[in-house]
């Protein structure tokens, strides 16, 4: 989407929420009345279907075979051969979580405007508003929702914060809060947002979240948890139990910013320590799963079995959450909970390393250093790593978590 004066797109202006859930258990949507257009059903999925009719997708994802695998967790298997055949190769190093934006590589300013569904911005007057045709303010870079041309599931879209600012794939407080607002606007437990860092199977170094609609629970959502701590602001942090990948679960909070800031501060800590990670925003933004991972590192070190490598499955946020996107019919036909568990167990940090990473995260959340919500765009630009030397200078954890390797997968 190029900078083009005079261009127009639909605009959905959301009301900034105080809380994701009110004290009586009703959603903020119910309290403020119906928005002028149903965000998920009418706008997002309606516009997505329009792009299907226009033939903008690389294949028909609704024709992909899908099944729930028998077992305790109900892992979901999908056979998606089209995605495998039409993937875009990764154009950056996979051993660095933070890398400078490179305009010569593919990025979302290069997609056609017809792939962009609408602008998604905070309302100026405090009420939800919808404008079918609103000018694009190129001076104040808009956040937009666009189709994923290689979809995993029905309604697969990308949320691209401040698209024209060309931010690299790194979470900050402002962008993560925007993603939580999108989850809240959808107001549907079957619509989730996901995030992959570099080194955790993001393939485009341009800040974006993914989202799609899937009408069954993800296995990670059904996993038991054990409470670790409650932060100031009443944000509860728990640890996943009896799940193949170790991870943290954030929920609660006196207001939406308390929850958002706790998660984004944790993500910033992982980025600054060169630890790849994935995030799943579930339950309309009320539960967030944060999973540090090391699959690419193990792959580069030759610690992944040939059997797993042959599947060519890259465990990004959806796979880690239990939606296994398989590329070979053989793997789809033989899909089992045991096979899914075996793949995801390789993704997980060891118990010892996971506790080391947790200590880093809790220290970062407690201090909240250098992650002010009021950071200006100029300050943010200065904070961005500009060279490999600067990235190397970022402090590492107790040991490096990644080594050079190769990685290819679709968005």
**Under 8 Å between Cβ of 240 and 225:** yes
**Under 8 Å between Cβ of 344 and 244:** yes
In this prediction, residues 382-387 reach a mean pLDDT of: 42
pLDDT at 32 over 70: no
Alpha-helical runs (H) found in 33-192:
45-53, 81-85, 173-186
Which pLDDT score, from 0 to 100, does residue 31 have? 53
**Residue 345 CA neighbour count, 13 Å, CB half:** 9
Which pLDDT score, from 0 to 100, does residue 4 have? 62
CA distance 56 to 59: 9
Q: Which residue has the higher pLDDT, 212 or 387?
A: 212
Tens-digit pLDDT profile for residues 285-308: 999 999 999 999 999 899 999 999
Q: Residue 71: which residues within 8 A CB-CB, separation 6 or more?
A: 336, 337
pLDDT confidence band for 411 (50 / 70 / 90): very low
Distance of CA 245 to the CA centre of its chain: 17
Query: How distant, in Å, are the alpha carbons of 154, 214, 276, 341, 360 from that of 270?
Result: 31, 28, 7, 25, 8
Which pLDDT score, from 0 to 100, does residue 386 have? 42
In this prediction, residues 170-183 reach a mean pLDDT of: 97
In this prediction, residues 387-394 reach a mean pLDDT of: 43
Q: Which residue has the higher pLDDT, 72 or 381?
A: 72
pLDDT at 97 over 90: yes
Query: How distant, in Å, are the alpha carbons of 89, 145, 325 from that of 86?
Result: 9, 22, 14
Which pLDDT score, from 0 to 100, does residue 29 have? 52
In this prediction, residues 77-90 reach a mean pLDDT of: 72
pLDDT confidence band for 93 (50 / 70 / 90): confident
Among the ranges given (203-217, 220-234, 387-401), the one the predictor scored with the smallest mean pLDDT: 387-401
Q: Is the dihedral of CA 393, 394, 395, 396 positive or negative?
A: negative
Which pLDDT score, from 0 to 100, does residue 154 have? 95
CA distance 179 to 182: 5
CA distance 146 to 226: 37
Query: How distant, in Å, are the alpha carbons of 100, 134, 220 from that of 8?
Result: 30, 5, 39
**Under 8 Å between Cβ of 275 and 263:** no
Q: Which residue in this structure is represented by tokens 């009896």?
A: 242
Residue 151 φ/ψ, nearest 5 degrees: -70, 150
Summary mean pLDDT of the chain: 86
In this prediction, residues 254-271 reach a mean pLDDT of: 96
Q: Which residue in this structure is represented by tokens 């040939």?
A: 306
Which pLDDT score, from 0 to 100, does residue 25 have? 54
Q: Residue 223: which residues within 8 A CB-CB, separation 6 or more?
A: 73, 240, 241, 242, 243
Q: Which two tokens stand for residue 177?
A: 């809060």
Tens-digit pLDDT profile for residues 117-158: 999 999 988 889 999 999 998 888 999 999 999 999 999 999
pLDDT at 392 over 60: no
CA distance 289 to 70: 24
Active-site residue list: 208
Q: Which two tokens stand for residue 17?
A: 């929420």
What is the pairing mode between strands 323-326 and 76-79?
parallel
Q: Please report the domains of the chain, with CATH numbers, ordered by start residue.
A: 9-393 (3.30.428.70)
Which pLDDT score, from 0 to 100, does residue 408 have? 37
Among the ranges given (141-150, 247-256, 339-348, 365-374), the one the predictor scored with the smallest mean pLDDT: 365-374
Tens-digit pLDDT profile for residues 40-57: 999 999 999 999 999 999
pLDDT confidence band for 232 (50 / 70 / 90): confident
**Under 8 Å between Cβ of 121 and 11:** yes
Which pLDDT score, from 0 to 100, does residue 85 have? 57
pLDDT at 101 over 80: yes
In this prediction, residues 238-248 reach a mean pLDDT of: 98
pLDDT at 264 over 80: yes
Q: Residue 302: which residues within 8 A CB-CB, separation 6 or more?
A: none
**Nearest Cα residue to 169 out of 102, 245, 258, 240:** 102
Enumerate the β-bridge partners of residue 280. 194, 289
């Amino acid at each position: 989407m190029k900078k083009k004066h005079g261009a127009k797109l639909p605009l959905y202006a959301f009301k900034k929420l105080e809380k994701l859930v009110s004290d009586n258990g009703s959603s903020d949507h119910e309290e403020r009345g119906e928005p002028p257009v149903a965000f998920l059903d009418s706008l997002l999925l309606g516009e997505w279907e329009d792009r299907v009719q226009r033939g903008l997708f690389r294949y028909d994802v609704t024709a992909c075979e899908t099944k729930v695998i028998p077992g305790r967790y109900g892992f979901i298997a999908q056979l998606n051969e089209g995605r495998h055949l039409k993937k875009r190769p990764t154009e950056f190093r996979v051993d660095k979580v933070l890398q400078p934006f490179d305009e010569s590589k593919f990025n979302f300013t290069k997609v056609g405007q017809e792939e962009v569904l609408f602008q998604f911005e905070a309302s100026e007057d405090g009420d939800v508003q919808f404008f079918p045709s609103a000018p694009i303010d190129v001076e104040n870079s808009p956040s937009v929702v666009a189709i994923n041309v290689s979809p995993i599931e029905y309604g697969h879209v990308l949320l691209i914060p401040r698209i024209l600012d060309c931010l690299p794939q790194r979470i900050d407080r402002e962008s993560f809060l925007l993603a939580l607002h999108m989850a809240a606007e959808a107001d549907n437990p079957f619509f989730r947002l996901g995030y992959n860092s570099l080194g955790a199977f993001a393939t485009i170094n341009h800040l974006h979240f993914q989202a799609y609609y899937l009408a069954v629970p993800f296995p990670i959502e059904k996993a038991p948890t054990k409470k670790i701590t409650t932060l100031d602001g009443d944000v509860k942090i728990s640890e996943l139990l009896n799940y193949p990948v170790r991870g943290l679960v954030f929920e609660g909070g006196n207001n939406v910013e308390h929850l958002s800031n706790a998660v984004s501060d944790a993500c910033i800590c992982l980025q600054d320590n060169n630890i790849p990670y994935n995030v799943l925003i579930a339950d309309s933004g009320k539960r967030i799963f944060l999973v540090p991972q090391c699959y690419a590192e193990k792959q580069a070190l030759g610690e992944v079995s040939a059997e797993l490598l042959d599947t060519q499955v890259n465990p990004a946020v959806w796979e880690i959450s239990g939606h296994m996107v398989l590329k070979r019919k053989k793997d789809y036909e033989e899909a089992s909970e045991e096979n899914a568990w075996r793949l995801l167990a390789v993704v997980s940090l060891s118990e010892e390393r996971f506790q080391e990473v947790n200590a880093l995260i809790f220290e970062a959340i407690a201090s909240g250093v250098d992650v002010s919500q009021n950071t200006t765009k100029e300050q943010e630009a200065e904070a961005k790593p500009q060279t490999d030397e600067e990235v190397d200078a970022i402090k590492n954890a107790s040991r490096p978590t990644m080594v050079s390797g190769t990685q290819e997968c679709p968005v």
